Amino acid sequence: MSALLLLVLSAAAGPAPVRVGSKVFTESVIVGELATGVLQRRGIRAEHVRGLGGTRVVWDALVRGDVDVYPEYTGTLAEEIFGGRVRPDALGPALAAAGVALGPALGFEDGYALGMREEVAARLGILRISDLRSHPALRLGFSNEFLDRADGWRSLQRAYALPQRDVRGLDHELAYRGLRAGALDVVDLYSTDPEIQAERLRVLEDDLRHFPEYRAVLLIRANLAGRVPEARAALEALAGQIDAPAMIAMNARARIERVPEAQVASEFLRARLGEDSVAPGVPGPGVVRRIAARLGEHLTLVGISLGLSLLVAVPLGVLAARRRRVGQAVLAGVGVVQTIPSLALLVLMIPLLGIGTRPAIAALFLYGLLPIVRNTHAGLLGIAPDLRESADALGLPGWFRLVKVELPLASPSIVAGVKTSAVIAVGTATLGALVGAGGFGQPILTGIRLADTGLLLEGALPAAALALAVEAAFDGLERLVVPRGLRLEPEQPA
């Protein structure tokens, strides 16, 4: 009977929502909102997992089934995903082998290019990429993905025999700030970037035709047709609807006029598909509600990961203190984990756990081990020998002595380690937004992408306040956990 009830309830709930992914740059987020919008306006449950990171992260999420749809470019598929083995006009079979279908072409191309400030290019007489050979001292700043992808800087440098060595990797939108400030001379551009026109940049001619064609398309998991048959037809409504001027205008609305991407997409759908087919826009939540929602997400990440770290790290610390040789290996192991860059650790978790909160919690759990293990180990080894001898003389069992004598005596050190771990988790959890985990990292990353100080502060200030609140909470917890005689009480005036 209960099994039948579960079956009825699952059938009533309908299929899981269609998950639309997007990369970390503005245009991808806008197109993700457009795809989500056309699905929702045809009665299909859909959600947008925005700003997931670079090409490989989102592609892997699609192949694994963590997302069902995301916008991509034919040149990126041919060169980056398939390593130049597939022509941009023959992607279908290669995609099908990965369980992916080529969705509608959106109608615009967004290719890579190199650009300079007009006055600098004119003064140096630079019109083409090959002209850069004569100016080895130029300072180049490229997006981190462009530096390493197959069709990016390395292959471009080889193709043109470029001599430049001062090449920096940074966020795409931040490169424009460096160009504007005169700290950079050449940056990579997307051909639909609104800054090209707004700042009168010179786009250098790709005279060797290094870059392929980058037509914008939607990629769709092949099994979505069986799960949500009407989804493909809904997405086809975007076929050929977005030309390059329209995409540039939408990018400008988001990045220059600071209009939220969801509103930009809604306005476009209303204008292009007609008022009847598009539901009127609903105002988004206010700042307080947004912060409250992000606080809940952030506390979930920190709370679960810290609890797991505590459950594992204290026994490891005890083991390290009682078994010296094993202890060296334990301390070395958790120390090595701490040396892995947090962003790299997050990405390493994705193949195992997918996207969302799980990889973020796993990474935070691993980062939380070292302070607790080390402080538990140090606290136990720091117990005075005469106290240990007294416990032995009383004939106390080992487990009783550990729980009732040694851990209480080591508790100031253990609590300090847990406090350190908690504060680290609050800060590191902001990177969870790159894998769809939410939290205060979401407005921070959006603020960086859109050069919006207000959004940046909307994430950074609450995260800092939360770190201070966590530290204060552990100060209070110390009074409850640490025996009074072991606390460092403030001195009283004479």
**Structure token digits, residue 74:** 């034919």
- Rounded CA-CA distance 138/115 in Å is 12
- pLDDT on residue 176: 87
Name the class of domain 16-110+214-277. alpha beta
- CATH homologous superfamily of domain 287-486? MetI-like (1.10.3720.10)
Whether this model's pTM surpasses 0.85: no
Q: Check whether 393 has a pLDDT greater than 70.
A: no
* pLDDT tier, 149 (very low <50, low <70, confident <90, very high otherwise): confident
For residues 117 and 139, what is the distance between their CA atoms, to the nearest angstrom?
Answer: 12
CA pair distance 382, 155, nearest whole angstrom: 57
Q: Domain 112-203 class? A: alpha beta
Regarding predicted confidence, which is higher, 411 or 378?
Answer: 378
Closest CA to 411 of 388, 385, 382: 382
pLDDT tens-digit map of 100-135? 999 999 999 999 999 999 999 999 999 999 999 999
80 DSSP assignment = I
Asked if 275 and 387 touch (Cβ cutoff 8 Å), the reply is no
Yes or no: say if 470 and 423 are a contact pair by the CB < 8 Å rule: yes
The answer on pLDDT for 34 being more than 90 is yes
Where is average pLDDT lowest: 104-108, 167-171, 224-228? 167-171
Query: What pLDDT score does 284 carry?
Result: 58
Q: CA–CA separation, 352 vs 336, rounded Å? A: 20
Residue ranges, CATH 3.40.190.10, the chain: 16-110+214-277
In the numeric block, which tokens belong to residue 218?
């939607």
- What is the spatial order of strands in the sheet that 69-73 belongs to? 46-49, 18-21, 69-73, 215-221, 100-109
Structure tokens at 391: 């416990």
Give the pLDDT of residue 286: 79
Which residue spans of the chain are classified as CATH 1.10.3720.10?
287-486
Predicted confidence (pLDDT) per residue in 312-355, tens digit: 999 999 999 888 888 889 999 999 988 888 878 887 888 888 88
Helix runs in 256-384, H state only: 261-273, 287-322, 324-339, 342-353, 357-381
What is the per-residue pLDDT for 5?
40
Short-list 99, 287, 117, 280, CA closest to 199:
117
Find the range with the poorest average confidence among 2-11, 121-130, 185-194, 439-448.
2-11
> Among candidates 102, 70, 61, 95, which has minimal Cα distance to 81?
95
Rounded to a whole number, what is the distance in angstroms from the first to the last CA of the chain? 75
| CB 58 within 8 Å of CB 12 | no
